[in-house]
C-alpha cells in the first residue's frame, strides 16, 4: 500500500474515532433507514392502489359495455358513446373471424386480428367466454380483458378491453425520483444538523480537556472551572474535580510514605555505620564495646529485616500482587497453631500470663497465611506492650453470623489522643519508639489492610496503664460453626 493511501486511512481512522462523528453517523444512519423504509412503504402502497385501479377500469368497462350491448341488441359505434368505456381503456370489437371491426381509438391501420388460439380459448375453454390477463413485457404492463358476446340473432363478436400502465408507471417513476431526492436532501440536512448539534453538545467536554492536559503528578493543583448551570456538565466537572482531589491526596500519601520509609531505613543504617566506625577504631581491643556494638548491629539488622518485610507487604498489597486466596477456612486449628507459637516465644523472653479464653470453631472466608499474620500482629503487639507477668488473653467466639476474635492485654494502653492514629502507617506512640520494643509502626496498618481484604471490621478500646482490647469481627461463611470451647491457661 502506498504511503499516501496509508496516510489517508490513518486520517479516516482518527476521524472515525471522534465521538461527534460516531454520533452523527449513528443518528444519520437511523434517520436514513427510517426515511427509506417510509419511502418504500409509500411507493409500494401507491403502486398497489394504482394497479388495482387499472384492473378495475378494465373489468368495469367490460361489464358496462356488455350490459349496454345486451340491451341495445347489436354492435355499432354507439357502444363508444356515454360512459361505457372508461377513460384510457381501449375497446376493439372483433367479428366472429377475429378481425377488428370497431376501435375506440382512431388508427391508420386496422389492428391485429385475434389469433386462432385466442378464438379457441374464448369459444371453448373460458367460462362465459371471458378471459382476463396481465401482459408484463419488459417495458410495458398491460391489462387485457377479452369477452365473447353473442347477439340475439346468433352473431358472435369478441370484445377486447385493454388498459396500459404507461401513465401510472411514469407517475411512479417520478414519485420514486422525487422521494429519493427528498431522502438524500433530508439525509444531508440530518448529517449537517448532527454535526452542528453534536459539536455543540460536546463543546463543554472539549473545554474540560484543556485544563486536564496541564495536570501532572508534580502539578496536581488544576481543577476544572464549574459551569454556572447545574446540568450534566456541572456534575461531570464536580466528579472529575473530586477524583482529582482523591488522586492528589493519594499521591501526597504515597510521597509521605516513601519519605517515611527512606527515613526509617536510613536510621538503622546510620546506627550500624556508627557502631562499625566505633569497632574499627576501638572495638576490637575493648570486649565491652565489642559486645555492645555487635548486639546493637544485630538489633538494627533485625529491625531492618522486619521493616523491609513490612514494606514489601505494603508494596505488594497496593500493587495487587499479594495473590490472596480467600477460601473457606476452619479457624480453630489455625488459632491454636498461632497460640502455641506465642507460648513458645514467650518462654524465651519476659514471661506473660497467657490465657486462651475461647477457641470456637467457625467457617470464614479467608486466606490462611494472612489470617495467621493478622493474629500474630496483634499478639506480638500485646507481648511488646505488656509488662512481664501481666495477662494476655485471646478469645475466638462464633455467633449466628459472625466470628469474633478479641485480643486483650493488661499492658501500657493507648491514650485517647493516639487511638485514632495507631492504624496509620509509621505511626508510633512516642513511648513506643524505644529500642526495647523496636516496632516499625507498620504492623497495625498491615493488619487494617488484611482486615479490609477479608471484609472484616475492627474495634479498639484502651485505657492508659490498664490495657488494650482489639476486637476483629469476620462475617461467617455458613452457619456450621460448632462450639469447641476449650479454655486453657
Specify the residue, 190 or 440, whose C-beta has the smaller distance to ligand ADP.
440
Residue from 381, 396, 406, 410 touching ligand ADP (CB under 6 A): that is 381
In the complex, residue closest to ligand ADP by CB: 439
Can residue 428 be called a binding residue for ligand ADP (CB under 6 A)? Answer: yes
Is residue 411 near ligand ADP by the rule CB under 6 A?
Answer: yes
Binds ligand ADP by CB under 6 A, chosen from 60, 122, 237, 444: 444
Residue of 54, 62, 122, 422 that binds ligand ADP (CB under 6 A): 422
> Of 171, 159, 51, nearest to 102 (Cα)?
159
* Residue 414 within binding range of ligand ADP, rule CB under 6 A: yes
456 contacts ligand ADP (rule: CB under 6 A): no
**Which residue number, 159 or 422, has a Cβ lying nearer to ligand ADP?**
422
First CA to last CA across the chain, in angstroms? Answer: 84
CB of 236 to ligand ADP, least distance (A): 40
Q: Return d(Cα 413, Cα 430) in angstroms, integer.
A: 13
Question: What's the Cα-to-Cα distance from 63 to each of 56, 57, 102, 235, 411, rounded to whole Å?
Answer: 10, 10, 18, 76, 119
Residue 405 within binding range of ligand ADP, rule CB under 6 A: no
- Closest CB 352 distance from ligand ADP, rounded Å: 12
Checking DSSP bridges between strand 140-150 and strand 156-164, what pairing results, if any?
antiparallel
Of 356, 366, 412, 458, the residue at the interface with ligand ADP (CB under 6 A) is 412
Q: Which is nearer to ligand ADP, 370 or 445 (CB)?
A: 445
Question: Would you say 306 or 397 has its CB closer to ligand ADP?
Answer: 306
Using CB under 6 A, which residues numbered 158 to 197 contact ligand ADP?
Answer: none
CB nearer to ligand ADP: pick between 244 and 382: 382
Which window, 25-33, 168-176, 286-294, 381-389, contacts ligand ADP (CB under 6 A)?
381-389
d(CA 24, CA 22): 5
Cell of 438: 523496636
Please say which residue, 222 or 427, places its beta carbon nearer to ligand ADP.
427
| Cα–Cα separations (whole angstroms), residue 78 to 50, 57, 258 | 29, 20, 115
**What b/e string do you get for 313-337 counting C-beta neighbours within 10 Å, with b at 16 or more?**
bbeebeeeebeeebeebebbebbee
132 or 426: whose CB is closer to ligand ADP?
426
Query: Rule CB under 6 A: is residue 383 a binding residue for ligand ADP?
Result: no
Q: Binding ligand ADP by CB under 6 A: which of 145, 468, 476, 481?
A: 468
Give the rounded distance of the alpha carbon of 389 from its chain centre: 60
Please say which residue, 199 or 415, places its beta carbon nearer to ligand ADP.
415
Q: Which of 415, 390, 403 is nearest to 451 (CA)?
A: 403
| Interface characters, 88-117, with ligand ADP (x: CB under 6 A) | ------------------------------
- Of positions 409, 454, 474, 476, contacts ligand ADP by CB under 6 A: 409
Give the range of 42-50, 91-99, 290-298, 407-415 binding ligand ADP by CB under 6 A. 407-415
Cell (9 digits) for 226: 464549574
Size, binding site for ligand ADP by CB under 6 A: 21
Question: In the bound complex, what is the minimum distance in angstroms from residue 382's beta carbon to ligand ADP?
Answer: 5
In whole angstroms, the minimum distance from the beta carbon of 330 to ligand ADP comes to 27
Beta carbon nearer to ligand ADP, 262 or 276: 262
Q: Nearest distance from residue 416's CB to ligand ADP, in Å?
A: 13
**Angle of helix 443-453 versus helix 368-384 axis, rounded to 10:** 150
- Of 363 and 393, the one with the shorter C-beta distance to ligand ADP is 393
Nearer to ligand ADP, 293 or 381 (CB): 381
331 in contact with ligand ADP (CB under 6 A) = no
Nearer to ligand ADP, 396 or 445 (CB): 445
Q: Which residues bind ligand ADP (CB under 6 A)?
A: 381-382, 385, 409, 411-414, 422, 427-429, 432, 439-445, 468
Amino acid at each position: 500500500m502506498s504511503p499516501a493511501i496509508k496516510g489517508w486511512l490513518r486520517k479516516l481512522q482518527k476521524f472515525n474515532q471522534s465521538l461527534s462523528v460516531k454520533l452523527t453517523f449513528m443518528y444519520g444512519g437511523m434517520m436514513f433507514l427510517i426515511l427509506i423504509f417510509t419511502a418504500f412503504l409509500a411507493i409500494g402502497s401507491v403502486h398497489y392502489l394504482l394497479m388495482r385501479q387499472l384492473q378495475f377500469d378494465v373489468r368495469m368497462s367490460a361489464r358496462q359495455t356488455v350490459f349496454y350491448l345486451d340491451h341495445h341488441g347489436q354492435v355499432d359505434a354507439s357502444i363508444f358513446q356515454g360512459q361505457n368505456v372508461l377513460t384510457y381503456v381501449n375497446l376493439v370489437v372483433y367479428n366472429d373471424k377475429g378481425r377488428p371491426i370497431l376501435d375506440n381509438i382512431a388508427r391508420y391501420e386496422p389492428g391485429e386480428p385475434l389469433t386462432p388460439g385466442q378464438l379457441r380459448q374464448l369459444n371453448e375453454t373460458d367460462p362465459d367466454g371471458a378471459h382476463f390477463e396481465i401482459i408484463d413485457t419488459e417495458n410495458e404492463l398491460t391489462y387485457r380483458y377479452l369477452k365473447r358476446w353473442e347477439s340475439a340473432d346468433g352473431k358472435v363478436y369478441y370484445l377486447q378491453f385493454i388498459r396500459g400502465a404507461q401513465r401510472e408507471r411514469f407517475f411512479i417513476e417520478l414519485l420514486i425520483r422525487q422521494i429519493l431526492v427528498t431522502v438524500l436532501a433530508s439525509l444531508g440536512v440530518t448529517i449537517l444538523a448532527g454535526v452542528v448539534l453534536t459539536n455543540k453538545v460536546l463543546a463543554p467536554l472539549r473545554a474540560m480537556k484543556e485544563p486536564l492536559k496541564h495536570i501532572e503528578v508534580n502539578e496536581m493543583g488544576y481543577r476544572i472551572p464549574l459551569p454556572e448551570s447545574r446540568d450534566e456538565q456541572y456534575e461531570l466537572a464536580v466528579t472529575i474535580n473530586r477524583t482529582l482531589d482523591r488522586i492528589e491526596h493519594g499521591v501526597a500519601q504515597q510521597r509521605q510514605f516513601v519519605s517515611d520509609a527512606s527515613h526509617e531505613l536510613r536510621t538503622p543504617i546510620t546506627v550500624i555505620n556508627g557502631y562499625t566506625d566505633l569497632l574499627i577504631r576501638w572495638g576490637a581491643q575493648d570486649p565491652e564495646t565489642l559486645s555492645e556494638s555487635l548486639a546493637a548491629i544485630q538489633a538494627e539488622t533485625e529491625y531492618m529485616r522486619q521493616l523491609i518485610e513490612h514494606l514489601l507487604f505494603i508494596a505488594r498489597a497496593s500493587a495487587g500482587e499479594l495473590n490472596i486466596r480467600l477460601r473457606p477456612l476452619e479457624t480453630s486449628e489455625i488459632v491454636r497453631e498461632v497460640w502455641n507459637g506465642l507460648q513458645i516465644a514467650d518462654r524465651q523472653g519476659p514471661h506473660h500470663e497467657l490465657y486462651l479464653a475461647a477457641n470456637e470453631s467457625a467457617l470464614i472466608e479467608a486466606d490462611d497465611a494472612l489470617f495467621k499474620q493478622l493474629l500474630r500482629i496483634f499478639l506480638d503487639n500485646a507481648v511488646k506492650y505488656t509488662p512481664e507477668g501481666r495477662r494476655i488473653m485471646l478469645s475466638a467466639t462464633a455467633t449466628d453470623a459472625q466470628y469474633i476474635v478479641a485480643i486483650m492485654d493488661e499492658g501500657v494502653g493507648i491514650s485517647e489522643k493516639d487511638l485514632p492514629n495507631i492504624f496509620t502507617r509509621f505511626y508510633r506512640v512516642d513511648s513506643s519508639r524505644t529500642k526495647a520494643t523496636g516496632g516499625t509502626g507498620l504492623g497495625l496498618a498491615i493488619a487494617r489492610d488484611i482486615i479490609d481484604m477479608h471484609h472484616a471490621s475492627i474495634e479498639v478500646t484502651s485505657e492508659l496503664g490498664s490495657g488494650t482490647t482489639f476486637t476483629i469481627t469476620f462475617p461467617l461463611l455458613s452457619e456450621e460453626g460448632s462450639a469447641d470451647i476449650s479454655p486453657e491457661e
